[in-house]
Amino acid sequence: MATAPSLPRIVSREEWKLVHREFLSKEKQATRAQDALNADRRRLPMVEVEKQYVFTGPTGESRLLDLFEGRRQLIIYHFMFHPDWEEGCPACSFLVDNFPHHLSHLHRRDTSLAVVSRAPLSKLRAYQNRMGWSFAWYSSEGSDFNYDFHVTLDEKVTPVEYNFCDRKALEQMGMKEFNGVEVPGASVFLRDGERVFHTYSSYSRGTETFLTTYHLLDLTALGRQEEWEEPADRHPGPRKGFLRHDKYESQ
């Protein structure tokens, strides 16, 4: 039998306002700290991408430069989809469900958003049609792109690195398998004419930037309802994992 979650204590409206006013000062500090972190990110150095990657996508073969669609900036989400799989990663599927419905606001700021996976384009298209997504999705099959940007780990191809950690550090954290393993990440690029520069990458929980669902749940009394969250007794029974959105009706 599921245990009922604990609930916030009940107070008067006056006490509620006082406590929330005090909490607001913490939120403002966090906002200013995030602004400072974002500014530091913009000050990070960049490196030129000199290798000529070839992708297949909505218009056939494309270079990395083509993925910008003429804009100055490009955000790529590395969607986990191994060539042998028939479906994309469920966690990545949850993440891209959170993409803006209209990318026009990103485009207004001269920024494009694309998704890249290692599976062949035919599988990507079939899965995209099933899920009802409209973003630009490219296959990197046959290129070094996933390996060079450390979202496919295979020491037979390139030295293992993930989240800026080498194999030894990853093993110490419990990761043992490095043979064609797909991992999530995001990479950001800047274009200067015909030159492309890699400005930023994030991995693991760094991709939570995309997860509007989590940010909305963070506002609630029950939170994300993950096992690691505090207060620990606030979880409403067994954790309900996210599914591919076309599977909820069958639950």
Start-to-end Cα distance in the chain: 19
143-188 pLDDT per residue, tens? 999 999 999 999 889 999 999 999 999 999 888 888 889 999 999 9
43 part of a folded domain: no
Q: Which residue has the tokens 């107070």?
A: 11
Judged against a pLDDT cut of 60, whether residue 201 lies above it is answered with yes
Tally of structural domains, the chain: 1
Q: Binning pLDDT at 50, 70 and 90, where does residue 238 land?
A: confident
Strands (E), the chain: 47-48, 54-57, 60-63, 73-78, 111-117, 136-139, 152-154, 161-162, 165-166, 179-182, 185-192, 195-203
Query: At residue 249, what are phi and psi to the nearest 5 degrees?
Result: -65, -25
Range of 68's domain? 48-210
139 part of a folded domain: yes
- Residue 236, pLDDT score: 66
Entry pTM = 0.93
CATH of residue 149: 3.40.30.10
75 part of a folded domain: yes
